[in-house]
Structure 1
């Protein structure tokens, strides 16, 4: 058996895909959404353990989780009751270029990683449209991203993601475990300190939630 990790089909890393100006525009959109749909700290199902990241969403639907009802998509912020802000046009364009899917994204999860935040190995599988790619955009401090296979505990590969990098998880990679091992504080000046005390990393993850009938043709 080989000890070399083989990158799954459908995984794409696009280093520096977004310019500095494009990155700034996305951070501005995140800041503008804070009045109605601010960052909050979700909790794990059953245990109620708080996540180490803060979250909000763009789109018609937003990913949320709490102890009582678990992982799901909702049309409004769980604390303010306000509808999520629209997915920025730049992200919509990126989806059209990279997703290879006959329908628009319905959700864009916004994770704010503080310098000590992590994300355990997991598979994004709460969507009906598991035939659509997940597109992830890194903004701010560098992060060590880990990618595994379709079963927990197998071989993995790690890579450092920088601000402006884009990752596509489609095809076989859509079913693979992945996570964030660590953040490298102070490696970016993108996040304004008045809005993001301590800096950190913003990760935008676009998903299609409902399966498109066109994708089945």
Structure 2
């Protein structure tokens, strides 16, 4: 497993063609991002979604932007309204959108205009199994993923579930961007370990920006 905090590793790390880790890219604005997450969650509360197969996800989530991602017995999909409240998802705050655009630009994806931000909340033991992000109509746009709080082991594989997997330790302020030839590569997060972060306590947050259509 690679730790991006080793002194000999570069600030930018290419996982595979099209996939880039930007070490500490969001660190200086992390406090503002956490405040924004709290504000979004006050309008659209965190919830544990259920998969079409009936399993409850260990990661709690909410959304902001024109679209929000949802899962239930009817399948995976994007919606314009929060199914819990019936209201439109909160607007994507400018600081989130601008961060995603800057990260995409740095990774080689100019003109990224996300219309959805998935906000995931991990507590110790929560995990995200290997999966593809394929519910978006616009797959020419990259995925931008921001890590805040407790460290987590990010898994990045290949075009099939059986592809070899790289494991990277992501910490507070790290950003991963993938698109182009790696846009549909499998990825996930190993179970979060116990710990306490000075800004988030026993929690990790992940902001995932998408262009859905």
- Say whether the fold is shared (TM-score over 0.5): yes
Deviates more, 1:135-144 or 1:75-84: 75-84
Q: What is the aligned partner in structure 1 of residue 10 from structure 2?
A: none
Spell out the pairing of 1:50-65 with structure 2 (5 A cutoff).
50-65=56-71
1:133 correspondence with 2:138: no
Shift of 1:83: 1.6
Is the 1:185–1:200 contact (alpha carbons within 8 Å) kept by the matching residues of 2? no
1:93 aligns with 2:98: yes
Contact kept in structure 2, 1:26 and 1:88, CA below 8 Å = no
TM-score (norm 1): 0.85
Q: Unmatched 5+ residue regions in structure 1? A: 1-5, 194-198, 211-217
Tell me the alpha carbon deviations over residues 148-200 of structure 1, each in whole angstroms, 9 at most, x when there is no partner: 01011121110100010000011112111000012233252221x5xxxxx22
1:63-100 superposed Cα distances (whole Å, 9 cap, x missing partner): 01001x21000011111112211222222212322332
Residues 43-192 of structure 1: matches in 2 within 5 Å?
43-45=50-52, 47-67=53-73, 69-99=74-104, 100-102=109-111, 104-191=113-200
Q: Number of paired residues? A: 196
Q: Unpaired runs of 5+ in structure 2?
A: 1-13
SS of the residue 2:20 aligns to = strand
Query: Partners of 1:95 and 1:116 in 2: how far apart?
Result: 27
SS of residue paired to 1:96: helix
TM-score (norm 2): 0.87
Q: CA deviation at 1:105?
A: 0.6
The answer as to whether partners of 1:132 and 1:207 remain within 8 angstroms in 2 is: yes
